[in-house]
Every structure is written in C-alpha cells, then in structure tokens.
Amino acid sequence: MAAWKILRDFSYRRVISSTLGRSRHCFSSSSSSSSSSAAYAAPKIPHFSKRGRLLTGATTLGLVIATGAYVSTVDEATFCGWLFSATKLVNPFFALLDAEVAHTLAVSAAARGWVPREKRPDPAILGLEVWGRKFSNPLGLAAGFDKNAEAVEGLLGLGFGFVEVGSVTPVPQEGNPKPRIFRLRQEGAIINRCGFNSEGIVAVAKRLGAQHGKRKLDETSRTSSSPNDEVKAGGKAGPGILGVNIGKNKTSEDAAADYVQGVHTLSQYADYLVINVSSPNTPGLRMLQGRKQLKDLVKKVQAARDEMQWGEEGPPPLLVKIAPDLSKEDLEDIAAVAVALRLDGLIISNTTISRPDPVSKNPVAKETGGLSGKPLLSLSNNILKEMYLLTRGKIPLIGCGGISSGEDAYRKIRAGATLVQLYTAFAYGGPALIPQIKAELAECLERDGFKSIIEAVGADYR
C-alpha cells in the first residue's frame, strides 16, 4: 500500500506540474494571481510536435513505473528512514540564510506538509502517561519555534511526543527590532531577543480551532476504519499532545489579566497550558517569578481555568516556565508556591542571560538576549536537579535546555525530568535529529536496566 500511495502521489504531482508548468511564469502566488494576470499578458506557449509529446509521455510513464517498482521492494520503515536522513541535505542551504528567514521557511515547510512524516512506531520503552495523557515518547518541541500555531500537524507528524506553541500574547505585537536572532554555530547555540512577537490570541485561536476540528475528524476516521480497544497515545484532538504557552504584552500593565485572557481563549484547544514568566526579552517579566507575585498570578490563572465548563477529562494541566538564572532562594520560593497551589508542572528552563564558556569568547556573545543550545545544558540541569529535590519529585518537570542527543535527554530524565524538550538542536539538525534522539534514549534506558521512562526519572537522587 505504501508503494502505491507513493506512486499515486508522484503521478499526481507529475500531471499537475506538467499542466501548470507552461504557465508558471504567469503566477507569483495564489493570492496575487488575479492582479498579476491583469498586469501581464500570458507568454506564448511553444509548440511541441506530436512525436515529441509522445516521447515525453513515454519517458515519464517509464520513470513512474520504474520508481514504483523499486519503491515496492522497500518496506515502509526503511523508506521513512531514508526520508528523514535526506533532510540533512537541506541543512547547508538553511545555514546560508539569515537565521530568522531560515526559521520562517522551516515553519512554512512544516505547515505545508513539506517535511517527512514518521510512520515507524516509537520504542515501547519510551511510552509514558502524565496528567492522564498518554505520550508515545517524552521528546517534545519547545515553545518559540511555532509561535503562532501554524504547523502543529506537520510538527507532530515528525515524531515529537508533544509540541508546544507560543508564546501567544493577547494583542498582536511585532516584538523587538530585527535582527534579533544570532547563531553561534561552533558552540551549537543561539542568542535571541525576539520579545514575544505574536499574531495574538484571536488569530491563534482561529487557527487552532480549524486544526483541532481537522485532527479530530481524521482521528475519528482512523478509529472507525480500524477499531481497536487499545488506548492510543494522544490528546484532545488525536495523536500527539499539544501545549499552549501564554505570554503577556510588552506594554500591558496588568499581567494577570493578559494570562487570564489567554486561558479563556486558548485552553479549550490545549492538552496543557504554560504560563511563561521567564523570557528575558520582555521588560519586567521575570519579576513575576517572585514568591508573592507568582502566587497571586497562579491563583488568578487557576481560577480562570477552573471557572470554565469542562467535560469528563477536566481542565488542561497548568505549568509555569522558569528561568535558569535563579538563586537558591528564588528556587525555594517557586517550589513552595508550586507545591502549595498544586501546580501541575514546571518547565526548566528558559534561555539564560549569562554567557558561559566557550560562548563568552565569541564576539556574538555581546548581543543582548537569551542564550539557548548546548552551553545551557549544565546550567539548566543544575536548576532541574534543585527543583526536583525541592519538590520531592511530587510535581512533573519538563527538562528544556541544551539537548542535542539521546544521552543529553537521558541525563535530564535522571536529574528529575519526566518529559524533555528541544529547540536549538532541532534548528541546526533538522528532522533527522528526532528519530536519532529517540533511538539513543531507548538505548540508554535499556543499557542501565530501566524498563520505562518513569523508572529513570530522578534516578540520580533516590
């Protein structure tokens, strides 16, 4: 079946390209075709002889048959592996582009389905249940990549166990002036000072609503065509878990009102919600991590969530994302609030304003903004360890910062993370990195005798 689907898609694209190829110079995009046709006359189409058309058609048909015959000898898993490996060929092209342009193109490609789709099942050892939701694997994509929820389906299709969109602000805002994203390629790091650039909750809610309906319909179709009593991994709308990260507007004087508005508008589409109080690029935001400020904020957001009507599954879990640049006293305050208010989880951590070696020696290190990537691994792991001990393992923690391999993910899990997220390494390594990290993580667990992710959580401190 896989071979015939590929053959069918190839044939369809060939026919379409042949039909549209002659007039492709007449169009700039679907949105501008009408204005373009009024301004420009269609070019003359060269005449091909009947014999020439027959030869072209025969060549195309032969290529299609040969491709189909070859693909039919390859199993779906092997072919899927080839597709993911092939994405490495594109990485050098993206490296030549401006960092933000490359990021925009990557999101657009995922939104249009121009990325491979993972067909292979995850290793059983990676499956786990958190907040009553089944995750096929603990590897997620951190907020910041798909800020406006443009590519949820494409990103989940890459094989992430969960994808977090945002941060989303109530009112649309441009963010900080460009350039605002800087690569430190040799160090495997990025400095950004985007400043919550967002299309706003109305645009994101509309997009999530449409995607939610489509994913729900697809899941219903799959379930009815292949009934199975087994509970599959996934969230409200089907396979994959969706997190929504909420932020405040830069000029807002009432932070709590911003977060409450985000909850009221977006929580119906979220499998979990995140209060982002740790970005270093919004003035005054990190002050919300103080004990009194955080306690007041979480209470108001929890109340806003709980006053909404929920079905049997209940409201989405509420998490807080914290910074890595916190003192021991700060961590103790946050842990106390989290335990007292029964917070559903913490994400540790956001980017750092520090410049640890070897980043400090790079001229780009002088740029203001948050640092992410490999140099953040040790710092974020230390904060993760402290918070796991302070909360006594009672609160699920998501480890984020510096992951670029299965071993890195495993270290975070042993330090107390139940789930992990990556971003910077994905920006550099592309889709091929995802199955690689999952395979390496499974090997690490089996090597040390663990039968599941849950068994390994916090193993270094118990």
Most confident of 48-62, 232-246, 322-336: 322-336
Give the C-alpha distances (Å, rounded to integers) separating 134 from 108, 137, 201, 289.
28, 9, 27, 30
> Can you state the percent helix, strand and coil of the chain, rounding each to 5?
50, 15, 35
Quick check: is 354 catalytic?
Answer: no
pLDDT digits (tens, 9 = 90+) for 367-425: 999 999 999 999 999 999 999 999 999 999 999 999 999 999 999 999 999 999 999 99
User: Which residues have C-beta within 8 Å of that of residue 17, sequence separation ≥ 6?
Assistant: none
Please report the pLDDT score of residue 21 as a whole number.
45
Lowest mean pLDDT, pick from 17-21, 217-221, 330-334, 413-417: 17-21
Tokens at residue 261, please?
């508005």
* pLDDT score of 224: 57
Residue showing tokens 């306690």: 295
pLDDT at residue 24 greater than cutoff 80: no
Q: What letters, b where the CB count within 10 A reaches 16 and e where it falls short, cover 276-288?
A: bbbbbbbeebbeb
In angstroms, what CA-CA distances link 447 with 127, 413, 443? 17, 15, 6
pLDDT at 51: 56
180 closest CA partner among 404, 22, 364, 442 = 364
Which of these ranges, 33-42, 144-153, 450-459, has the smallest mean pLDDT?
33-42
d(CA 436, CA 415) in angstroms, rounded, equals 21
Q: Which residue has the higher pLDDT, 448 or 34?
A: 448
- What's the confidence (pLDDT) of residue 49? 56
- One DSSP character per residue, 16-58 reads HHHHHHTTGGG-S-TTTHHHHHHHSPPPPPPP--HHHHHHHHH
DSSP-assigned letters across all residues of 79-110: HHHHHHHHGGGTHHHHHHS-HHHHHHHHHHHH
**Do 198 and 178 touch, CB atoms closer than 8 A?**
no
Q: Which residue has the tokens 């917070």?
A: 343
Residue type, 266: L
Residue 443: burial class (beta carbons within 10 Å; 0-12, 13-18, 19+): middle
Q: Using CB atoms within 10 A of its CB, is residue 353 exposed (0-12), middle (13-18) or buried (19+)? A: middle
Q: How far is CA 322 from the centre of its chain?
A: 18
Domain extents for the chain? 74-221+232-456
Which pLDDT does position 227 carry in this prediction? 55
Q: Which of 351, 352, 319, 346 is nearest to 417 (CA)?
A: 346
Averaged over 448-455, what is the pLDDT? 98
> What average pLDDT does the structure give for the chain?
86
Band of residue 235 on the pLDDT scale cut at 50, 70, 90? confident
pLDDT at 30: 39
Is the separation of the CB atoms in 144 and 180 below 8 Å? Answer: no
Banded model confidence at residue 236, pLDDT cuts 50, 70, 90: confident
Decide if pLDDT at 120 tops 90: yes
**Gyration radius of the chain's alpha carbons:** 24
pLDDT at 6: 46
> What is the C-alpha separation between 317 and 245, in angstroms, rounded?
12
Q: Is a pLDDT exceeding 60 seen at residue 25?
A: no
What is the predicted pLDDT for the residue at 213? 73
pLDDT of residue 39: 41
| pLDDT tens digits, 122-135 | 999 999 999 999 99
Greater model confidence, 251 or 47:
251
Alpha helices in 241-280 (DSSP H): 255-266
Is the predicted pLDDT of residue 366 greater than 70, yes or no? yes
Whole-number Å distance between alpha carbons of 260 and 301? 5
Amino acid in position 281: N
Q: Domain 74-221+232-456 - what CATH class?
A: alpha beta
Give pLDDT, residue 212: 77
Percentage with pLDDT > 90 across the chain: 75
Condensed to tens digits (0 to 9), the pLDDT of residues 290-329 reads: 999 999 999 999 999 999 999 888 999 999 999 999 999 9
Residues sharing a CB contact under 8 Å with residue 362, sequence separation 6 or more, in sequence order: 184, 186, 187
Catalytic residue among 198, 279, 349, 404: 279
pLDDT tens per residue across span 268-297: 999 999 999 999 989 889 999 999 999 999
pLDDT category, 20, cuts 50, 70, 90? very low
Q: What is the pLDDT of residue 413?
A: 98
